[in-house]
Amino acid sequence: MTASDQPTYEQLLEINRELLAQIAAMKQQIDELKGELEKLRNGPPKPPALRDLPHFVRPNKPKREPKDKKQRRQRDQGFGRPLSVFTRTQVHAIEKCPDCGRALTGESAHCSREVIDIPTVMVEVVKHLFLARWCGVCRKRRLPRQGEALSNVVVGQRRIGVRLMSLIAHLVHICRMPVRTIQQLLNSLFGFSISSGGIVQLLKAVAQRGKKMYAQLRDEVRSSPFVHADETGWREDGVNGYLWSFSTPDVRYFVREPGRGHDVPERELGPSYNGILSTDFYAGYNYHRGLHQRCWVHLLRDVHKLCDAYPLDKPLQKWSKHLHTLYTQAASSCWVRRSDRARAREMFQRNLLALARPYVDTAAPQAVLAKRLLKFKSELFTFVEHPQVAPDNNAAERAIRPAVIARKVSGGTRSKEGSDTLVILMSIFQTWKVRGLDPLEACVHMLCSPA
C-alpha cells in the first residue's frame, strides 16, 4: 500500500463517527430485546397490590405451579358410584320396523340407564270423618276423640299437618330461606298456597311446642363443664339489639336481648356456674370468676394486623414470631402428663410475661397488645391444664354463623314475639343438626309428642 492509498485523518474521523453511531444503535436494540425477554420470563401482568385494592376486596390467590403428574397405580377394585335401588322400570322397545313396517318379534336386554328424578306430587288434602256409632248394651252413642285420633297428624285445631309444619320450619332455620321464597317453593312443588302470615303463625306454633326442649337446652348448658359464648347484632322492629350464643359440643342455645352487658351471660349461665367459659376479649364476660379461656385466634389476628401496619418494624416482626412460637408450643403440649399440666401452664404464663413486660410502658406499636397479654395472662393457657377445652372460640363462631347469614337475608325480626320464636327454633334445630339427627324428622317427632 502506497502513501497515497492510506485514508486521511479526516476520513478516519468520519469512519470512527459512523462506527460509534452503529454501536449506539446496536446497544439500543439490545436493551429493547432484553426488555421483551424479561416480559416473557415474568409472564402476564400481575394483579394490583393489596394496597391498591379497596379494603373490602380480597386479592387473588397466586397460581400454583403445575406439578408433574405421577402415574397412578391401578386399583384392585373399582369404586364407581353404585346403582340406586330402582323404584320402577320403564321399558323402551320398537313395535314395528322403521324401514318396512313389519311387527318385530323376540326381545333381549341390550342396555339400561339409570335416571334419578322427583315425581310431581300435589298436596294431599285428607278429610277426616268421625262417625258416631250406637251401643245397644249401654244405650249410648260413641264417638272417637279427635285429639287421640289426630295426635300424629295435626297440632291442635290447625288444618296444616305436622309434616308440612316441620318442612316450613326446616326451610327457614336450616335452609335459611325467606318466607316469600318458601311460598313460591310450596306452590311450585306441591301446588299449595299459603300466606306470609300463615307461615309466621305455623312457626309460632312449632316454637310453642319447642319451649320445653328450649328450657332443657339451657339446663344442659348450665351443667356443661365448659361453654363457648359469643354475640352478634340483631335488630328487632328497627331497634338494634344482640343475639347471644352459648354452645357446647352437642347443644346450641340462643337468646336475643336488647343490651350487651354482662348481665345477659350471668343470667343465662346462672350466677353459680363454675365451668370453663371460652370467649373472645369482650369485657362483658369479665364477670366470670371461674376458669376462663380467651380466644387465641382473635389475639393472633390482631397481631397479624399490627404487623401488616408496620411491615418495616423488625422488633415487632421478631416479637410476633416469638408469640406465635409460644402459642404453637402450648397447642402441642397434649403430651404433658396430667400431673405436670399445672406446672406447664405456669411455665407458659411466665414466658408470656417475659414477652409482654418490656413493651408495656413504651411507645412501641405492640404496647397495647402487651397490656392485653398482661391483663389476661391467667386466661390464655387454660387449655394446657384442661385439654378438653380448645384454645380458640371457633365453636361459638361456627354456631352463630347461620344466624349472621339469616340476619343478612331478613334484616332481623319485627317484634318480641318474633324474636322469641326465632331463638327457640334456632336453638332446637341447630342442636338437632349438631347431634347428627335429621331436623325434619326430629321436628315431626316433637310435634307428635304430648305437649
* pLDDT recorded at residue 36: 84
Q: What is the band of 411 on the pLDDT scale with cuts at 50, 70, 90? A: confident
* pLDDT recorded at residue 7: 79
Instruction: For residue 413, count other CB atoms closer than 10 A to its CB.
Output: 21
* pLDDT recorded at residue 9: 81
The string of pLDDT tens digits covering residues 66-98 is 766 667 777 776 667 777 888 889 999 999 999
Where b means 16+ CB within 10 Å and e means fewer, 350-380 reads ebbeebbeebeeeebbbeebbebbeebbebb
* pLDDT value at 48 more than 60: no
DSSP-assigned letter for residue 242: E
* pLDDT value at 422 more than 90: yes
DSSP-assigned letter for residue 91: -
Q: What is the band of 424 on the pLDDT scale with cuts at 50, 70, 90? A: very high
Mean pLDDT, rounded, for 390-412? 91
> What are the residues whose beta carbons fall under 8 Å from the beta carbon of 423, sequence distance 6 or more?
214, 243, 254, 255, 256
Where b means 16+ CB within 10 Å and e means fewer, 229-239 reads bbbeebbbeee
CA distance 159 to 282: 48
Q: What are phi and psi of 446, to 5 degrees?
A: -65, -40
C-alpha cell at 128: 277426616
* pLDDT value at 56 more than 70: no
* pLDDT recorded at residue 8: 83
Evaluated on CA atoms 334, 339, 342, 347, the torsion sign reads: negative
CA distance 344 to 350: 10
- Would you say 422 and 399 are in contact if contact means Cβ atoms under 8 Å apart? no
Which of 54 and 351 is assigned the larger pLDDT?
Answer: 351
CA distance 409 to 404: 9
Question: What Rg, from alpha-carbon coordinates, does the chain have?
Answer: 37
Q: What is the band of 47 on the pLDDT scale with cuts at 50, 70, 90? A: low
Element (H, E) at 47: none
Mean pLDDT, rounded, for 376-393? 93
- Would you say 428 and 435 are in contact if contact means Cβ atoms under 8 Å apart? no
Least confident of 40-49, 232-241, 378-387: 40-49
Amino acid letter, 40: L
For the ranges 5-9, 71-75, 200-204, the maximum mean pLDDT occurs at 200-204
Q: What is the band of 446 on the pLDDT scale with cuts at 50, 70, 90? A: very high
Least confident of 33-47, 176-190, 358-372: 33-47
CA distance 204 to 210: 10
Share of the chain above pLDDT 70, in %: 93
* pLDDT recorded at residue 61: 75
- Which residue in this structure is represented by grid cell 303463625? 201
Instruction: For residue 401, count other CB atoms closer than 10 A to its CB.
Output: 13
- Would you say 293 and 442 are in contact if contact means Cβ atoms under 8 Å apart? no
* pLDDT value at 45 more than 60: no
The string of pLDDT tens digits covering residues 247-300 is 999 999 999 999 999 999 999 998 889 999 999 999 999 999 889 999 999 999
Q: In whole numbers, what is the pLDDT of the chain averaged over residues? A: 89
Closest by CA to 232, choosing from 412, 369, 409, is: 412
* pLDDT value at 417 more than 80: yes
* pLDDT recorded at residue 4: 62
Instruction: For residue 220, count other CB atoms closer than 10 A to its CB.
Output: 14
* pLDDT value at 232 more than 60: yes
* pLDDT recorded at residue 415: 93
